[in-house]
């Protein structure tokens, strides 16, 4: 039985075994820990994950054809494999404590996956994933670059990000039209932002939604009437600010 890659689900199955092993090896070893694999497909990562004695694996897969394949080709999948949409799955019903995340994320929903991971940031100490290279570059980028954006700031606020390796289209079937990359996110030591977190997200998203404008103009919807925007930070564009700058900016706006 073979699984057809479905364009609607953004499926491109990794076939390069050495890259699959490298992705699994990038997950930090340690005592037995809960791990969630998102989108196992035909089990190219699964086959190596189940070999690791330090991993208690769960999987979530939306494609029924892939689920049938995994149940047929791998033992012990019952109760560990969830046929569901990860974006709608209640992770607290599956894991009672910390869990790590790994997977070849569907490229068409990778950003949404990261936003969901951020909701559980205090329970997800590590993420290893393959995504579109353009998105990986954006996430790992530092301030000052045109690729630096919303995900860069929100993820870097809570995670240290390592760029593991680049992957060409030939490693997949069918080959995607874009290059891919593997990144690793490790939860940093931050326990709080030092500002209102909800407002922080709003400021970051509003600033980058009109990234060509200075912050004075981009953030107008958030500034109260009569707000004094003479601070030099408002002369900058969003891409110039790091996490701590956005924290300070959020406090400046909130306290006005």
- All domains in the chain, ordered by first residue: 7-187 (3.40.50.150), 197-254 (1.10.8.100)
Closest-CA residue to 187 (of 108, 249, 101, 113): 101
* pLDDT per residue as tens, the chain (256 positions): 565 554 555 556 798 999 999 999 999 999 889 999 999 999 999 999 999 999 999 999 999 999 999 999 999 899 999 999 999 999 999 999 999 999 999 988 999 999 999 999 999 999 999 999 999 999 999 999 999 999 999 999 999 999 999 999 999 887 888 899 999 999 999 999 999 999 999 999 999 999 999 999 999 999 998 899 999 999 999 999 999 999 999 999 998 6
User: For residue 131, what pLDDT is reported?
Assistant: 95
User: For residue 211, what pLDDT is reported?
Assistant: 92
User: For residue 180, what pLDDT is reported?
Assistant: 95
Structure tokens given for 64: 């029924």
Closest-CA residue to 115 (of 139, 144, 148): 139
User: For residue 7, what pLDDT is reported?
Assistant: 52
In angstroms, the first-to-last Cα distance of the chain is: 63
Give the strand pairing for 100-104 and 33-38.
parallel
Cα distances from 132 to residues 112, 129, 233, in angstroms, run 13, 10, 32
| pTM of the entire predicted model | 0.92
Vertex 191: Cα angle to 90 and 201 (nearest 5): 65
User: For residue 13, what pLDDT is reported?
Assistant: 78
Cα distances from 70 to residues 20, 63, 127, 146, 172, in angstroms, run 17, 11, 22, 41, 19
User: For residue 6, what pLDDT is reported?
Assistant: 47
User: For residue 5, what pLDDT is reported?
Assistant: 52
SS (H, E, C) the chain: CCCCCCHHHCCCEECCHHHHHHHHHCCCCCCCEEEEEECCCCCCCHHHHCCCCCEEEEEEECCHHHHHHHHHHCCCCCCCEEECCHHHCCHHHCCCCCCEEEEECCHHHHHHHHHHHHHCCCCCCEEEEEEEHHHHHHHHCCCCCCCCCHHHHHHHCCEEEEEEEEECHHHEECCCCCCEEEEEEEECCCCCCCCCHHHHHHHHHHHHHCCCCCHHHHCHHHCCCCCCCCCHHHHCCHHHCCHHHHHHHHHHHHCC
């Amino acid at each position: 039985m073979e699984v057809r890659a479905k364009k609607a689900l953004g499926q491109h199955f990794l076939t390069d075994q050495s890259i699959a092993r490298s992705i699994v090896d990038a997950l930090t070893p340690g005592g037995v820990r809960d791990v969630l694999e998102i989108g196992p497909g035909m089990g190219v990562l699964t086959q190596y994950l189940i070999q690791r004695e330090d991993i208690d694996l769960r999987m979530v897969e939306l494609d029924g054809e892939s689920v049938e394949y995994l149940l047929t080709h791998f033992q012990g999948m019952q109760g560990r494999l969830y046929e569901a949409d990860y974006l709608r799955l209640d992770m607290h019903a599956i894991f009672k404590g910390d869990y790590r995340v790994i997977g070849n994320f569907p490229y068409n929903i990778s950003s949404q996956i990261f936003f969901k991971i951020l909701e559980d940031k205090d329970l997800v100490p590590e993420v290893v994933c393959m995504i579109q290279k353009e998105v990986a570059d954006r996430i790992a980028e530092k301030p000052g670059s045109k690729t630096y954006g919303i995900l860069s700031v929100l993820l870097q606020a809570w995670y240290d990000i390592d760029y593991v390796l680049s992957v060409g289209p030939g490693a997949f079937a069918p080959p995607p039209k874009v290059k891919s990359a593997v990144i690793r996110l490790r939860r940093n030591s931050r326990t709080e932002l030092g500002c209102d977190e909800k407002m922080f997200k709003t400021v970051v998203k509003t600033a980058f939604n009109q990234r060509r404008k200075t912050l004075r103009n981009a953030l107008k919807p958030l500034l109260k009437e009569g707000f004094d925007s003479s601070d030099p930070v408002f002369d900058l564009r969003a891409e110039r600010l790091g996490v701590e700058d956005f924290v300070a900016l959020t406090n400046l706006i909130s306290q006005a």
